[in-house]
């Protein structure tokens, strides 16, 4: 099962909104084939592993199949994996965790058991669920998994009085952030972060695909000369008001930018409505990268699943605090600490 996890991670950043899945086939006590889900819309892990075995001329009758997530039982972009497993007469299937997606949800397990296959579930199930935390949240709630990422000084500042915030964290921490960007479907910032930092919000210095770039700009006040408006890949999304200027919206759309007008609550973007609209675009995970106003609004709305706070051993004195409201912080019961270059990374989880 641990090997299944290793294989599954090879698909990170490529398979969303599908889950990360790895598969190992064992016969006569030896691993004879492996596979993983490589890209959304392509074959699942089980089929890739089975195809690999077949190409080697291996008869799979009586073999055992290990997979970190329940094999599917429905026709999607590919045929059901459970049917293929039955067809090849496997004797046993070992599963990390059941699939919560309503089209599967135990149906794959039931189908294989009815065919006489011994099915074992719950092997390293907590690790298996952690591996697919984005997918589990998305299919269970219809909302993306939300992580706040912040870099601050030891006295809690994310920027000075002039909103300058670059290079608070170490080189190692910044590299970690780029790796995270390649895994999350999207990164999100507020209009002020674009205005003062002019971030690119892309992946640099590491391998991986660029995420969607989401900017909250309620009144469409930002000029189009900032870096986030220069991409032509159709992966920039502007969250704005339902009352936003139609002419401004059309101009953005001509630049191949996605505009999502959202409801307003208490003179601010209704974040729950925004997340529902983003989920409709199959965005299963979002990393929020600034600024303080956006951080606090998401926390107060209790929409955050995880926080990653990089704390640098510096003192800024006066400046912008990352968090100014205690509401919502009681949601986080799990706390872990790691070193990241000269920084400390604090991980808060629900």
Tell me which residues are annotated as active site.
46
Query: How far is Cα 256 from Cα 278, in angstroms, rounded to an integer?
Result: 17
Q: Dihedral angle at the C-alpha atoms of 336, 310, 315, 317, nearest 10 degrees?
A: -110
Q: What is the DSSP string of 159-227?
A: E-TT---TT-S-HHHHHHHHHHHHHSSEEEEEHHHHHHH----S--SS-SPPPEEEEE-TT----TTSG
Which is nearest to 9 in space by CA: 141, 128, 176?
128
Q: What is the rounded radius of gyration, in angstroms, for the C-alpha atoms of the chain?
A: 23
Asked whether 257 and 230 are in contact (CB, 8 A), the reply is no
Residues with Cβ < 8 Å from 172, sequence gap 6 or more?
A: 340, 341, 342, 343
Which is nearest to 82 in space by CA: 60, 129, 115, 49?
115
Name 338's bridge partners. 345
Tokens at 154, concatenated: 């030891």
Write 295-300 long-range contacts (CB < 8 A, 24+): 295/148, 295/150, 295/322, 295/323, 296/323, 296/324, 296/325, 297/268, 297/271, 298/146, 298/148, 298/271, 299/148, 299/323, 299/325, 299/327, 299/328, 299/329, 300/325, 300/327, 300/328
Query: How far is Cα 9 from Cα 130, in angstroms, rounded to an integer?
Result: 12
Asked whether 9 and 131 are in contact (CB, 8 A), the reply is yes
Query: How far is Cα 74 from Cα 86, in angstroms, rounded to an integer?
Result: 14
Extended strands (E) in 58-123: 64-69, 92-97, 118-120
């Amino acid at each position: 099962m641990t090997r299944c996890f290793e294989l599954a991670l090879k698909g990170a950043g490529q398979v969303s909104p599908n889950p990360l899945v790895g598969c190992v086939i064992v016969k006569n006590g030896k691993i004879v084939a492996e596979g993983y889900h490589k890209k959304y819309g392509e074959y699942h892990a089980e089929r890739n592993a089975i195809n690999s075995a077949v190409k080697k001329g291996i008869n799979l009758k009586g073999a055992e199949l290990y997979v970190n997530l329940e094999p599917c039982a429905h026709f999607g972009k590919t045929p059901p994996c459970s049917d293929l497993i039955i067809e090849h007469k496997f004797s046993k299937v070992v599963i990390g965790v059941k699939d919560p997606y309503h089209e599967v949800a135990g149906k794959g397990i039931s189908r294989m058991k009815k065919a006489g296959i011994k099915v074992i579930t719950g092997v390293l199930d907590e690790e298996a669920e952690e591996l697919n935390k984005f997918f589990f949240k998305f299919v269970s709630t219809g909302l993306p998994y939300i992580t706040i990422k912040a870099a601050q000084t030891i006295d809690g500042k994310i920027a000075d009085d002039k909103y300058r915030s670059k290079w608070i964290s170490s080189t190692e921490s910044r590299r970690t952030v780029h790796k995270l960007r390649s895994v999350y479907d999207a990164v999100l910032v507020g209009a002020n972060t674009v205005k003062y930092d002019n971030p690119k919000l892309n992946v640099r210095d590491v391998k991986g695909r660029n995420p969607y770039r989401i900017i909250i700009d309620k009144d469409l006040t930002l000029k189009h000369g900032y870096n986030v408006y220069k991409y032509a890949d159709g992966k920039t999304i502007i969250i704005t008001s339902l009352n936003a200027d139609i002419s401004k919206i059309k101009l953005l759309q001509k630049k191949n930018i996605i505009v999502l007008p959202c409801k307003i609550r208490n003179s601010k973007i209704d974040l729950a409505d925004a997340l529902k609209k983003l989920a409709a675009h199959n965005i299963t995970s979002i990393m929020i990268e600034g600024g303080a106003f956006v951080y606090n609004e998401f926390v107060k709305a209790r929409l955050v699943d995880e926080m990653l706070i990089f704390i640098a051993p510096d003192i800024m004195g006066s400046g912008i605090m990352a968090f100014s409201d205690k509401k919502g912080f009681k949601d986080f019961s799990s706390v872990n600490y790691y070193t990241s270059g000269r920084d400390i990374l604090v991980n808060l989880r629900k």
